[in-house]
Amino acid sequence: MKPLEKDTGFELDGLDELFKTLTLDEGETIERSSLRLQIESAGYAIKRLKPGNGKLRFLAADCSMAFKELRYHALWATNAVAVYAVFDGVMHSDSLVGHSKIPYHSLKFANKVSIGEITPYVDADVRAVHQRLYEESKIFNTSIAQLDAEGVDIDLILVDGSLTTNIGSAEKGVKYPEGKAADTEFKRFLRSKKTVGMVEDSHSAGVAQKIGYSFTDILLFDIALDEGEYVVEKDNGVNICYVKLPGKKLPHEPDTTEPLTVRWEFNYDDFEKELAALAGIWQMEDDILHPQTYPLRIADYLTRRVKVNGILDMLIQEKGLGLKYRELRTS
């Protein structure tokens, strides 16, 4: 050890050697044909997308959340947004942006801002996750009821994230009121409507580990699949599809983008037609990096139009609520 003095610093010699200890293997050395055989030998069929088109009516929803643990209170605020859109394969003016074209029309939205407190102040961080799922599920169910009353049909529900993760999270949380409410609301629309979970970031590695690799399933199928191919894994009644979406033509260049491997989850078995349709719809949209389609991306964007962190800050200031000691410290 060394003397601790006012000009004490840290020596960072040897970083280059530390960097060399990381292999950071991205799969370049894996032989694809052998990998494909391993996947098929493990019981996973590699299939090719069929052409899909036609009219589809979507309801998507997302929910932003702010959560603050104070000295005596655990407070949350949410903005839940649902977006309805009809895809018909014809390019229409984007009514939200006003100057671009999208293959959707008849856009509608609903939102609800909510605020509350976790009581008793136990396992607050976990229960806040369940509260967010409840608020998102609630706006799905209220929007479905409103559209049904207007005689408006819905073909597909689009969920931000993994259906299997949400199911497991809600079921584990039923010992608290937030988890029980989330489980009830989430399963209500899941049982009544065809639902697709569009996963933005998947760290699942079950398939890869099953065949002897130590990276994520997304990377596994990104290496193994050709453009337009997919593999299905069944889990808890949900069909998890890993799809390698073809690259898109760039509007002002002769090149195309890199293919994008995504994880989309379906809560029903005869999903191939909708899977193909969603892949085709994604191909028509301008976005080149996002694994979710327009209605879900717009729902996400609209959640951020309300600054829920600011709502909580305003409440804390007006009520004079005590912060945690660590937040009172200035250094």
* In the predicted structure, residue 27 carries a pLDDT above the cut 70: no
Taking 70 as the threshold, does the pLDDT of residue 26 lie above it?
A: no
Distance CA(177)–CA(167), nearest Å, equals 16
pLDDT tens-digit readout, 132-167: 999 999 999 999 999 999 999 999 999 999 999 999
Give how many domains the chain has, as a whole number. Answer: 1
Q: What's 110's domain CATH number? A: 3.30.2170
Supply the pLDDT for residue 249.
82
Beta strands in 127-224 (DSSP E): 156-160, 195-199
Q: Is residue 187 very low, low, confident or very high in pLDDT (cuts 50, 70, 90)?
A: very high
**Could you tell me if residue 25 is inside a domain?**
no
In a domain, 246, yes or no: yes
pLDDT at 191 over 90: yes
Q: How far is CA 98 from the centre of its chain?
A: 26
Instruction: Answer for the pair 170, 85: CB distance below 8 angstroms, yes or no.
Output: no
Average pLDDT of the segment spanning 175-193: 95
pLDDT for residue 329:
54
pLDDT interval class at 321 (50, 70, 90):
confident
DSSP codes, 129-156: HHHHHHHHHHHHHHHHHHHHHTT---SE
Helix then strand then coil, % of the chain, to nearest 5: 35, 25, 35
| pLDDT band at residue 331 under the 50/70/90 scheme | very low
Task: Answer yes or no: is 123 within a domain.
Answer: yes
pLDDT tens for 68-118 read: 999 899 999 999 999 999 999 999 999 888 778 999 999 999 999 999 999
Bond prior to 3 in cis (omega within 30° of 0):
no
Looking at the chain, the whole-number percentage of residues with pLDDT higher than 90 is 73
Interacting residues of 50 by C-beta distance below 8 A, sequence separation 6+:
272, 276
Cα→Cα distances 221→147, 163, 247, 256, 314, Å: 38, 20, 15, 20, 47
What's the gap between Cα 323 and its chain centre? 32
**What's the pLDDT score for residue 325?**
54
Cα–Cα dist 82/142, whole Å: 10
pLDDT tens profile 246-287: 998 876 777 888 999 999 999 999 999 999 999 999 999 988
In a domain, 139, yes or no: yes
- Partner residues linked to 158 by β-bridges: 60, 196
Range of the domain at 78: 41-328
The average confidence (pLDDT) of the chain is: 92
> Which residues fall within 8 angstroms of residue 272, CB to CB, at 6 or more apart?
50
pLDDT (0 to 100) of residue 28: 54
Instruction: Name which residue leads in pLDDT, 121 or 11.
Output: 121
Q: Is residue 273 part of a domain?
A: yes
| Other C-beta atoms lying within 10 Å of the C-beta of residue 15 | 8
The interaxial angle of helices 177-192 and 124-149, nearest 10 deg, is: 30
State yes or no: pLDDT of 195 exceeds 50: yes
Residue 48 within any structural domain of the chain: yes
Tokens found for residue 156: 């597909």
With respect to residue 223, please indicate whether it lies within any of the assigned structural domains. yes
The predicted pLDDT at position 169 comes to 87
Q: Identify which of 242, 280, 211 has the alpha carbon closest to the alpha carbon of residue 56.
A: 280
